[in-house]
Amino acid sequence: MIRTSEPGGPADRLTPVLRPVRAGNGFEEALEQILQVVRLGLVPDGERLPAERELAERMGISRVTLREVLKVLQEQGLVESRRGRYGGTFVLPRPQDPDEAELRRRIAAVDMEDALRFREVLEVGAAGLCAAHGLDAAGAERLRAALAATHDAPLADYRRQDTLLHLTLAELSGSPSLTARYAAVRATVNDLLDCIPLLVRNLEHSQHQHTALVEAVLEGDADAAREVAREHCAGTAALLRGFLA
């Protein structure tokens, strides 16, 4: 049974995304946030979302509104509801090999250049902030653990762990606004990444960059952290442009 209140569990992973919504757009903003949770892989395929009461409280909406949101996600094939003692709302696996029509839909829905540039600005900024301001012991340990998870991840889970590493860095920057905007743009970038193959050579290079980035942050070298983050984003952008432009 999943306990969402445990440190490091699903509830903690959702902190960068779930936040109180504005009264006028409760349904729309709640839908956006839970879509981000699913698209970022913050709750892995096959695992359960936090309980309705917890989700509703964290976003400041009624459970009626939340159920309307979950109904939309079910209709889109993103989650399913299960009854019984171990029931709840579970994230469904996304297709591993989108068909051509789905690829065209995803690409057409995104201004790729805008998303890639905005991602770079946010990642470079977050890296610089973390290095310049320094991390406390708990923050440093979180960053090391997120890096280790990318090294240990099987190929099928690599992109999710990669996302969690970068989201951790954004959260540790100390700016909730930056974190929220990074979560949004990263969800868009992930939709594009799902359209291209995982290349072992690229993943090896990314891992070297991840290690250099974390080392620069922990050493307080803001210039180096920003430069590594910029190079890392440029590598991803080059792949996406090559496959999709």
The 8-class DSSP code of residue 205 comes to H
Question: What integer pLDDT is reported at residue 100 of this predicted model?
Answer: 63
Nearest alpha-carbon partner for 125 in 20, 229, 242:
229
Burial 18-31 (b: 16+ CB within 10 A, else e): beebeeeebeebbb
Question: What integer pLDDT is reported at residue 241 of this predicted model?
Answer: 86
Measured distance CA(83)–CA(80) in Å, rounded: 10
Question: What integer pLDDT is reported at residue 198 of this predicted model?
Answer: 82
Nearest alpha-carbon partner for 52 in 40, 64, 41:
64
Measured distance CA(12)–CA(176) in Å, rounded: 15
Task: Quote the pTM value.
Answer: 0.76
**Cβ neighbours of 163 (radius 10 Å):** 22
Question: What integer pLDDT is reported at residue 99 of this predicted model?
Answer: 65
Question: What integer pLDDT is reported at residue 47 of this predicted model?
Answer: 92
Question: What integer pLDDT is reported at residue 5 of this predicted model?
Answer: 37
Measured distance CA(55)–CA(59) in Å, rounded: 6
Measured distance CA(167)–CA(184) in Å, rounded: 11
Residues in CB range of 137: below 8 A, 6 or more apart: none
Question: What integer pLDDT is reported at residue 151 of this predicted model?
Answer: 92
50, 108, 116, 161, 172 from 47: Cα distances, Å: 10, 30, 30, 15, 26
Nearest alpha-carbon partner for 44 in 90, 102, 108:
90
Q: What tokens were used for 28?
A: 């729309």
Measured distance CA(41)–CA(35) in Å, rounded: 10
Block mean pLDDT (10 aa), the chain, length 245: 41 80 80 87 91 93 92 89 88 72 69 93 97 96 96 89 95 94 93 83 89 98 97 90 78
Q: What tokens were used for 93?
A: 């696996």
